Amino acid sequence: MTPSGSGDKAHRGLLITFEGPEGSGKTTLIDALSEELARRGCESLQLREPGGTSIGERVRSVLLDHSSRGMCAETELLLMEASRAQLVREKIQPALEAGLIVLCDRYADASTAYQGYGRGLGEKLVERFNKFATGGLQPDLTFLCLLPPAEGRDRLKQRKTDRLDREDHEFHDRVYEGYQALASSGHPRFVVLDASVTPDAVRDDAMSHLARLEHGLLKFL
For the stretch 78-108, pLDDT in tens is 999 999 999 999 999 999 999 999 999 999 9
Query: What residue ranges define each of the domains in the chain, with the CATH number in brackets?
Result: 14-218 (3.40.50.300)
Q: Is the pLDDT of residue 5 over 90?
A: no
Please state whether beta strands 44-48 and 14-19 pair in parallel, antiparallel, or not at all (unpaired). Answer: unpaired
Question: Peptide bond before 3: cis, by omega within 30 degrees of 0?
Answer: no
Helices (H), the chain: 26-39, 54-64, 73-87, 93-97, 108-111, 123-134, 149-156, 169-183, 199-212
Mean pLDDT of 143-161: 83
Cβ–Cβ contacts within 10 Å for residue 101, how many?
23
Q: Is the pLDDT of residue 2 over 60?
A: no
Lowest-confidence segment of 9-13, 167-171, 172-176, 186-190 by average pLDDT: 9-13
- Read off the amino acid at residue 120: G
Q: Is the pLDDT of residue 32 over 70?
A: yes
